[in-house]
Amino acid sequence: MLAGRDDVIDYAAVINKYPWLVKKDQNCVLSPDSDGLLCGLFTSYYLNWKIRGFYDGKIMVLKKGFRPEDCVFLDMEIFRKGIRSVGQHMVMFNKNRLPANWGNFDSCFSANNTRGYDAKHNFPQKYPLATIHLLFGVLGSVQKITIPTTAICPLLYTDGTFKNLFNYPDNCLSWLNFLQAEKTASPLHAIFFNDHYSIHSLMIALSELFGELRLITGGKRGGDKIKLSNGNGGLIHFDGKSRTIERETVEQAEKFLYLLANKTGWEYTPDNWSWRNLSPFYLKKGAIRPSQGRYDELMKKNPISLAMTSTLGIEYTLDPKNIF
């Protein structure tokens, strides 16, 4: 999906391979952090997608009556044939030695896989932005996406994008070129090529955003996410009898969503979000130190998802109960 030697994405080829990326009225499952919630708000507003659940690598909660194959998983790569997903994590260890079941990613639109980047050869060049930016590039290639100046700060905040811009400028510039962000019609142009912020004014805007997030939680951290599980993989903030995410947790999440909606112009539509009648599914999360041998053994176990979060660790999730 590259266009010749210039190493830029071919959006038409991406949409041809994954036509569901731009189709309306899909169901989706989100990662429960700021990037996942932004993806849900964006697809709900522009494509009328319905949020049917959340997945954090340890637990999935899914609206009763829906199966994983009914949904698009946003901000995670699902290693299962027929299950659609979009993600930006490093999942390929060595492009020259792919596992026999690598076809499990055939329905996954992955930033690093699309560019042919693996951990062995390209880890320092891995994707440095958020999944929401990847969605901007794709949908923005076929329809107009409006990015008001009030949206720039939260879109630079999510997934620590603003940190990566300054820590890894060469890599960020390479990926912005790959995503064709320099084109004025791209919504990415409004974010990364804007003249609205100086470095100083961006710091002020980020400081103000941090203050708004602290107001959501009464001064605590975590106003930009939904906490589903504890360190042991146990479900928290969930009422098992009513199959409902606890009211206080939903209210906090909605405060964040209304904050984002106000800044982006993407209306938060409560009817598109499933907070009730959810079924919890318990999964098994683990981690290993990266090596070709350990990666090969892991892939034989057929993980649901994985991510090489650093040169020292691969996090993964197994499905012992065959939920997927």
| Percent with pLDDT over 70 in the chain | 98
**Domain contains 276:** yes
Burial of 63 (0-12, 13-18, 19+ CB in 10 A): buried
**Domain contains 17:** no
Range of the domain at 73: 25-318
Average pLDDT over residues 308-314: 92
- Strands 85-87, 71-74: pairing kind: parallel
Q: Are 176 and 188 in contact (CB under 8 A)?
A: yes
Give the closest residue to 78 by CA, choosing from 104, 102, 53: 104
Neighbours of 214 (CB within 10 A): 14
Q: What is residue 62's three-state secondary structure?
A: strand
Distance in angstroms (rounded) separating the CA atoms of residues 262 and 150: 8
pLDDT surpassing 50 at residue 4: no
Burial of 167 (0-12, 13-18, 19+ CB in 10 A): exposed
Q: CA 266, 267, 269, 272: dihedral to nearest 10 degrees?
A: -10
Give pLDDT, residue 5: 46
Distance in angstroms (rounded) separating the CA atoms of residues 302 and 285: 13
Distance in angstroms (rounded) separating the CA atoms of residues 249 and 236: 10
Q: Provide the pLDDT confidence category of residue 223 given band limits of 50, 70 and 90.
A: confident
**Domain contains 10:** no
**Domain contains 15:** no
Count of domains observed in the chain: 1
Q: Are 79 and 303 in contact (CB under 8 A)?
A: yes
Return the ∠ at Cα 284 (arms to 70 and 67), rounded to 5°. 10
Phi and psi, residue 139, nearest 5°: -70, -35
Measured between alpha carbons, how far apart are the two ends of the chain, in Å?
Answer: 28
Give pLDDT, residue 1: 59
pLDDT digits (tens, 9 = 90+) for 167-221: 999 999 999 999 999 999 999 999 999 999 999 999 999 999 999 999 998 888 7
pLDDT surpassing 90 at residue 236: no
Give pLDDT, residue 6: 64
Buried b (16+ CB within 10 A) or exposed e, 224-243: bbbebbeeebebebbeeeee
**Domain contains 53:** yes
Give pLDDT, residue 168: 97
**Domain contains 12:** no
Mean pLDDT (the chain) is: 95
**Domain contains 1:** no
pLDDT digits (tens, 9 = 90+) for 61-101: 999 999 999 999 999 999 999 999 999 999 999 999 999 99
Give pLDDT, residue 280: 95
**Domain contains 3:** no
173-182: which pairs have CB atoms within 8 A and are 24 or more residues apart?
A: 174/125, 175/127, 175/128, 175/129, 177/7, 177/8, 178/7, 178/8, 178/9, 178/115, 179/8, 179/9, 179/133, 179/134, 179/137, 180/8, 180/9, 180/11, 180/137, 181/137
pLDDT digits (tens, 9 = 90+) for 261-296: 999 999 999 999 999 999 999 999 999 999 999 999
